[in-house]
Structures are given as structure tokens and as C-alpha cells.
Amino acid sequence: MENWNLRRRAAVLLGILLLDAAMFGTAMGVMRAETSSEEVRAAGVQEMVPETADAPSFVALTFDDGPDPVCTPKLLDGLKERGVHATFFLMGQSIPGNEALVLRMKEEGHLIGNHSYRHIQLTKAREDSVCEAVEQTEELIASITGERPQYLRPPYGDWNENLECRMNLTTVFWSVDSLDWKLQHTSRIVRRLEQSVGPGDIILMHDIFPTSVEAALQIVDSLQAKGYRFVTVDELLVD
């Protein structure tokens, strides 16, 4: 009995590691900072995109650090108008008082992920406090939406495999960093994205700056005009 349990647990862990390995390849490229998106795409996600000539190109917009009472509603309005679903990695400490926004995300078809409770580097914290911060955010979101998020984006993309085995969540990084937090300038963010986004990319943005919201909506318009289709990260990873 004990043996069987152990074996089963090993199989589950292997499954999670395999899933993460697929994404980690992409993410590691990004974490080496200035790697070009071409290199990153070559390393991973692009292989999952259909290659036929008339297949649409898929891309995923992801927003970290929210919800924000001012910026997030504007973003949700704009995405709804355009029929676009995005992925929101929520920070636990920003949720109290913004429960209606979290519910709205779910009702409008967006994917909700976990961005831990506070914006700390998880590899620098004690493992049990990391688990607690992630779990607290899981519970907060589930108490609003009725569903525990299955995807985790660690703050700063800071993660390692030792933390992996403690969590039954799939870690999602990104392949294009908009640098929206640094630029805080709509047209510069748009220009950067127009130059770097390709099929299969996961775009990192933050729905806590007005310039990010404006840039996100502009890039949706411009990429939709080029035939891109916006999906949530789970859809992108399945496709």
C-alpha cells in the first residue's frame, strides 16, 4: 500500500515536472533578460502553434500585480469590447476590496492565476512561508470565484525546482516582456510589442498603470488587424 502510494505520488510529480519543463525552457530564456523574442520562440512555445498557412496565430496577454481598482475596470471594458480573453495573475494582498473585479474577470471569460500574496522573491523566502503565501492567495480567489487557480506566476519570475515539488500548480512565465512598468509610456510600449511579438508568445504586462491599459488595447487592435487571435495561457499551452 505504502509502495503504491509512493509510486503514484512519483507519477504525479513527474507529470507536473514534465509540464513545467515544457514551459521552463521558454521562461528561462526570458529570465536571461535581454534574450530576443525570436530566440525564445525558437526555444519553445512556437512549436505548439499550428503551422498551416491559414491557421490563425495565437498570442496570450497576461497581466500581473492586480487587481487595481482604477486600471483593471478600464482594461476589462476594453477587452470585452474587443472580444478578447486575457490571463490575470493576481496578488493576494490586492484582492480585499476588489472582489467584484475578480468575479468580473471570471464571468467575462478571463483566466485567473496566482501571483503569490505579496511581491517578494519566492526563492529568497522560507519554503513554508512561500507555500503559505501561495495557498492564502489560492483560497482568497477560490472564495470569490469558486475555483482554485491552477497556474502560478512567481513575482519577478523567480522560482526554482525545489519550490516546484511543494505546489500542485503549473508555473507560467512569459516570452515577451513589455517593460510597461519601466517605460510607462503608451506608444513606446506599443512599439516595443509590435517589434517583438510573434505567434505563440506570452506577453507580460501589468494592469496597475494607465499606460499599460492603453497600450494593451492598442496592441490588441493592431495584432487583431494582422490576424492574431488572443487566448488565455491555458488555451495557448493546449493549442
Least separation in angstroms between CB 15 and Zn ion: 27
Q: Which of 65, 180, 206, 207 is catalytic?
A: 206
- What is the Cα–Cα distance from 124 to 182, expressed in whole angstroms? 23
The question of whether 68 is a catalytic residue gets the answer no
Least separation in angstroms between CB 112 and Zn ion: 15
Q: Which of 20, 64, 68, 201 is catalytic?
A: 64
CB contact at 8 A, 82 and 220: yes
Instruction: CB nearer to Zn ion: give 64 or 68.
Output: 64
- What is the Cα–Cα distance from 239 to 47, expressed in whole angstroms? 10
Least separation in angstroms between CB 181 and Zn ion: 8
Instruction: CB nearer to Zn ion: give 58 or 63.
Output: 63
* Cell (9 digits) for 126: 522560507
- Three-state DSSP at 228 gives strand
Least separation in angstroms between CB 141 and Zn ion: 16
- What is the Cα–Cα distance from 220 to 194, expressed in whole angstroms? 10
CB contact at 8 A, 99 and 144: yes
The question of whether 64 is a catalytic residue gets the answer yes
- What is the Cα–Cα distance from 20 to 27, expressed in whole angstroms? 10
DSSP 57-76: EEEEEEEES---TTHHHHHH
Instruction: CB nearer to Zn ion: give 92 or 199.
Output: 92
- What is the Cα–Cα distance from 226 to 87, expressed in whole angstroms? 21
Instruction: CB nearer to Zn ion: give 184 or 222.
Output: 184
Closest CA to 29 of 14, 46, 16, 15: 46
Least separation in angstroms between CB 152 and Zn ion: 12
CB contact at 8 A, 23 and 47: no
Instruction: CB nearer to Zn ion: give 29 or 155.
Output: 155
Closest CA to 83 of 221, 202, 235: 221
- Measured from each CB, the residue nearest to Zn ion is 64
Query: Which residues of the chain form contacts with Zn ion (CB under 5 A)?
Result: 64-65, 155
Residues marked as catalytic: 64, 206
